[in-house]
Structure formats: C-alpha cells, structure tokens
Amino acid sequence: MRFYFNVQDKLKIQDEVGREFSLASDAVIFAKRLAEDMRCLETVVRPTLAIEVVAENAERIHREPVFA
C-alpha cells in the first residue's frame, strides 16, 4: 500500500510521490524517523510542524509532531 508523508506547518506541503509499505505501522515508523531528521535540521522550534501520514485511500493514519 502506498502512503504519503505530508508536511504541515503554517502551510501544508503535499507529498505527491509517497512510499510503499506493507503495513501502516511501518509507515508510522518512517514518519517518526522523518520527524527526527527534521528536528536535527530545524534551528527554531516550531510547535505546529508535523508529518501527516495518509494512506492511498486518503485516510489519515497518523500525525507525528516534529517538536513534541
């Protein structure tokens, strides 16, 4: 199944490519790793910054805050 990893902040950046995972839990783990990477790159704490995991059927699976 394909999952999309949208970046949300003041503006929303849609992931138009996505990635294939066999399980939704694998997509959630990937989102957590993306959030970790973004935390290392961001110099300012932005409480609204998050990764939203969306399945190919447009169902929102998970929302991972970058700065929790």
Residues above pLDDT 70, as percent of the chain: 100
Domain boundaries, the chain: 2-65
pLDDT at 42: 86
pLDDT at 17 over 90: yes
Q: What value does the mean pLDDT take over residues 23-44?
A: 95
Q: Does the pLDDT at position 54 exceed 90?
A: yes
Rounded Cα gap, residues 33 and 11, in angstroms? 21
The two structure tokens encoding residue 18: 């996505």
